[in-house]
Amino acid sequence: MKKYFLLSTLLLSTSFVKADEGSCGFGMMGFGNWSYFSMILGIIFWVIVLYSIYLLIKKLSNGNINPLEIIKKRYAKGEITKKEFERMKKELR
């Protein structure tokens, strides 16, 4: 998580760098003094922020798995036998 924080801080700080401090116009493409590189870094920053929020929500919602799902996964992995699976399933109902 620390790695993502440092990367997002770097991207945020570089997204405010101007391409040319001396000019006052809007440039050829109408983007002012901002370079394409800083615009791309700004977009990447927001992608990282949104992806981090997605991962946080996903991690917090994993606590809602019901016990039947857990024993199904254990049976699929081969950690428990069919007899144990049936017994556990019966106890949960």
Per residue in 28-43, pLDDT (tens digit) is 555 555 677 888 888 9
pLDDT score at 76 = 94
Q: Which residue has the tokens 């770097």?
A: 10
pLDDT score at 36 = 78
Q: Please tell me whether residue 56 adopts helix, strand or coil conformation.
A: helix
Which of 84 and 38 is assigned the larger pLDDT? 84
Q: CA geometry: angle at 54 spanning 45 and 41, to 5°?
A: 10
Alpha-carbon gap, residue 42 to 78, rounded angstroms: 47
- What's the rounded mean pLDDT across residues 13-25? 52
pLDDT score at 27 = 53
